[in-house]
């Protein structure tokens, strides 16, 4: 039996993007300019090119200004740092995103550290990680913030719920744990060294899987009625030779038979990332311009 509600991240993301777009005209009137997002791509990684193109399209569709900067794979670290400094100094730019991964001769940490934390709409700068850890307003990485929005939309108040986050990356696992803790969940962060992972996951009202291992979380690990958020996007061989398909970190059909609600892959967490990026850019624009954000407009 497939008992779980399927959480429609695509629909939620479309709604969030519409709410962001609806708030842009008032900002334009108040600030005399559009919110601006700068995206920097170094090299020709095909997946990154696809992401950057969709970010550009979504930014323009939201009525914001998109500044796209492409550097060749041979660009030096200094050239990239110079570009980031120029974007830091450019008043039309509210948000800066440097697409990762960067070519191996460039130090990612150094690049992220150079971004003005108040323009860091990716939430990757240590200042923003620190703000999240101590509960100050800053910027939270888009994927975990999108997961939290889906959870609150489905469950309302999360207080007292047992949450297990599988994965401890700086981009998803750690910020996800901090967000859930701030919502008064009892949070466990599980990872590759966790003993008896299945038993740990069985105690959870909320499971967030962000490990990057196809269908690792099995149906019999899921507590009856739990809410399952699958952050994984893994390409695996498909049914026909030469074809591939996308699967999450959760064995979907098995888990959907016991969960209360679950995100599908694709169409769950994935579409939230760009929507939250636009949301973070809108927030950055208002803060930087000293314009109040309409209450409740963007969750
Ligand atoms: N590469 C894949 N996802 C992301 C993201 O959310 N931000 C950045 N900067 N790079 C990425």
Is 54 labelled as part of a ligand binding site? no
User: Residue 296: its pLDDT value, please?
Assistant: 73
- Find the 22 Cα to ligand 1 centroid distance in Å: 25
How far is residue 28's CA from residue 162's CA, in Å, rounded to a whole number? 42
Closest to 278 in 3D by CA, of 84, 31, 23, 28: 23
Residue 143 CA: which ligand 1 atom is closest?
A: 6
Ligand 1, atom 9, residue with closest C-alpha: 99
Average pLDDT, the chain: 97
10 is catalytic: no
User: Residue 1: its pLDDT value, please?
Assistant: 52
Mean pLDDT, range 98-123, rounded to an integer: 98
Q: What is the pLDDT of residues 263-276, one digit of tens each?
A: 999 999 999 999 99
Are residues 179 and 41 in contact, defined by beta-carbon separation less than 8 angstroms? no
Per 3-state DSSP, the chain is made up of helix, strand and coil in percentages (nearest 5) of 45, 15, 40
Mean pLDDT, range 110-125, rounded to an integer: 98
- Find the 135 Cα to ligand 1 centroid distance in Å: 23
Q: pLDDT class for 3, splitting at 50, 70, 90?
A: confident
49 is catalytic: no
Token pair for 237: 């061989």
Tell me whether strands 244-247 and 234-237 are parallel, antiparallel or unpaired.
antiparallel
Please check the confidence at residue 77 and state whether its pLDDT lies above 80.
Answer: yes
Name all domains of the chain by residue range, CATH numbers in brackets: 30-139+274-286 (3.40.50.10860), 142-271 (3.40.50.720)
Closest to 148 in 3D by CA, of 180, 123, 170: 180
How far is residue 131's CA from residue 209's CA, in Å, rounded to a whole number? 24
Ligand 1, atom 11, residue with closest C-alpha: 100
99 is catalytic: yes
Cβ neighbours of 186 (radius 10 Å):
16
Closest to 9 in 3D by CA, of 205, 145, 121: 145
Out of 94, 120, 122, 249, the active site residue is 122
């Amino acid at each position: 039996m497939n008992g779980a509600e399927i959480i429609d991240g695509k629909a939620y993301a479309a709604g969030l993007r519409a709410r962001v777009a609806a708030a842009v005209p008032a900002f334009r009137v108040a600030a005399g300019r559009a919110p601006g997002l700068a995206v920097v791509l170094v090299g020709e990684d095909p997946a990154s090119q696809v992401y950057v193109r969709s970010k550009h399209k979504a930014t323009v569709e939201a009525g914001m200004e998109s500044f796209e900067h492409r550097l060749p794979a041979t660009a030096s670290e200094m050239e990239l740092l110079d570009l980031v400094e120029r974007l830091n100094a450019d008043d039309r730019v509210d948000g800066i995103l440097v697409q990762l991964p960067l070519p191996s001769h460039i130090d990612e940490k150094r690049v992220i550290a150079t971004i003005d934390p108040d323009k860091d709409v990716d939430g990757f700068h240590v200042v923003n990680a620190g703000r999240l850890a101590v509960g100050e307003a800053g910027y939270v990485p888009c994927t975990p913030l999108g997961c939290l929005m889906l959870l609150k939309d489905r469950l309302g108040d999360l207080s007292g719920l047992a949450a297990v986050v599988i994965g401890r990356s700086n981009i998803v696992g750690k910020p996800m744990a901090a967000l859930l803790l701030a919502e008064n969940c009892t949070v466990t962060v599980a990872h590759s060294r966790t003993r008896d992972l299945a038993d740990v996951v069985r105690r959870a009202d909320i499971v967030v899987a962000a490990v990057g291992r196809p269908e690792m979380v099995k149906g019999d690990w899921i507590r009856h009625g739990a809410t399952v958020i699958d952050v994984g996007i893994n390409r695996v061989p498909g049914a026909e030779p030469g074809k591939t398909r996308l699967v999450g970190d959760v064995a979907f059909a098995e888990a959907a038979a016991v969960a209360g609600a679950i995100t599908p892959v694709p169409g769950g967490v994935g579409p939230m990332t760009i929507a939250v990026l636009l949301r973070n850019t809108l927030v950055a624009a208002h803060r930087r311009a000293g314009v109040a954000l309409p209450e409740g407009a963007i969750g």
